[in-house]
Amino acid sequence: MVSQQEDGPVTSSIRSTLTDLLNPEKLEIINDSSKHAHHSAMRGVFSKETHFRVNVVSEAFAGKSTMQRHRMIYGALSKDFDAGLHALSLNTKTPAEIAKANEA
Amino acid sequence: MNFLRTASSLALRPSGHILTRRTALPATAFAVRYLSDSTKKTIEDAITRNKLVVFMKGTPDAPQCGFSRAVMQILTVQGVDMQNSLKSFNILADEELRSGIKEYSSWPTIPQVYVNGEFVGGCDIMLSMHQSGELEKLLLKEGLVEPEAEENPRA
């Protein structure tokens, strides 16, 4: 497992961008880069911050489809993608959806 | 940093790019950076002539990335005829297509799935649609899978 001690520059950039954009109730950013370090697209890439999982709960997603939620995030992070961010696995929920899932 | 972020998120706002295709798009760096007319035509031809198109890393038999592999597994489990109903493009073999498709879809990651000419999503969306049953509905509607035989026709 990747330790979660200190955010690298990409992680902190994602964190601050998404915090500004979504005012999230919960924001979890997990760096999975080491799991993908050997795949072919990563040849010659030395960044330790290329693949992330992001779990975010925000009211800002209300009334939006998954596609729209993902586009919001991808749009806001375009500069990070330009700078070498390679993959984001997104889990985007509203507080109401979380509450409903917990009930079930 | 802050002003950069604001500027880029305004200029690169992706949703407007594909949904409201304006005729006179300003020549922003994003709009003209990669997508040549020939690549655009390749993509448009592919997604209009084939019901199911996946832009992926590697091939259906040998995916080169876990996310592309996951999409292939989902489609296989759904019962798609992977030999005849799926058109796939290995973007690792075509750098222009690789950057072009990201811009065409306004979506920065691979794989990308198109059904009946429309962008459905990447791995996360395919997985959640698979789990919710939406994907089956879509594939059935487009004739990409056969309706399942009634399990207990006499019950």
Question: Hey, is the C-beta of A42 within 8 angstroms of any chain B C-beta?
Answer: no
Best CA proximity match to B39, nearest among B101, B91, B113: B101
Check residue B154 and give its pLDDT: 58
Express the helix, strand and coil content of chain A in percent, nearest 5 each.
45, 20, 35
pLDDT tens-place string over residues B23-37: 444 444 444 466 899
Interface contact flag, A75 B14, Cβ < 8 Å: yes
Interface contact flag, A75 B13, Cβ < 8 Å: yes
Check residue B74 and give its pLDDT: 97
Is residue B113's pLDDT more than 70? yes
The domain ranges of chain B are 34-141
Check residue A41 and give its pLDDT: 73
Is residue B141's pLDDT more than 90? yes
Task: With H, G, I as helix, E, B as strand and everything else as coil, classify residue A89.
Answer: strand
The domain B34-141 belongs to what CATH superfamily?
Glutaredoxin (3.40.30.10)
Is residue B142's pLDDT more than 70? yes
Q: Which residues of chain A have pLDDT under 70?
A: 1-5
Closest residue in B to A90 (Cα) is B124
A76 alpha carbon, distance to own chain's centre: 11
State the smallest CA–CA distance between residue A74 and chain B in angstroms: 7
Residue A88's H or E segment, with its range, is: strand A87-93
Check residue B151 and give its pLDDT: 61
pLDDT tens-place string over residues B123-136: 999 999 999 999 99
Kindly list the structural domains of chain A, giving each domain's residue range(s) and its CATH number in brackets, ordered by start. 9-103 (3.30.300.90)
Interface contact flag, A70 B124, Cβ < 8 Å: yes
Top residue of A71, A73, A88 to mutate, by most chain B CBs within 10 Å, is A71
Report CA-CA distances (Å) from A89 to A32, A37, A74, B16: 10, 16, 11, 23
B118-121 β-sheet, strand order? B87-90, B52-56, B112-115, B118-121
Tokens of B102: 């990201």
pLDDT tens-place string over residues B41-92: 999 999 999 999 999 999 999 999 999 999 999 999 999 999 999 999 999 9
Is residue B12's pLDDT more than 70? no
Check residue B26 and give its pLDDT: 43
Cα B139 to Cα B25: distance, rounded to the nearest angstrom: 34
Q: Dihedral, CA atoms, B43, B123, B131, B83, nearest 10 degrees?
A: 50
| Complex ipTM more than 0.95, yes or no | no
Closest CB to B108: pick one of A40, A67, A74: A74
Q: Where are the beta strands (DSSP E) in B13-86?
A: 52-56
Cα A51 to Cα B155: distance, rounded to the nearest angstrom: 50
Check residue B20 and give its pLDDT: 40
Is residue B97's pLDDT more than 50? yes
A51-57 β-sheet, strand order? A26-31, A51-57, A87-93
Check residue B100 and give its pLDDT: 95
**Which residues face A91 on adjacent strands?**
A55
pLDDT tens-place string over residues A58-67: 999 999 999 9
For chain B, the average pLDDT equals: 82
Q: What angle do CA A46, A90, A15 make, to 5 degrees?
A: 65
Is residue B5's pLDDT more than 60? no
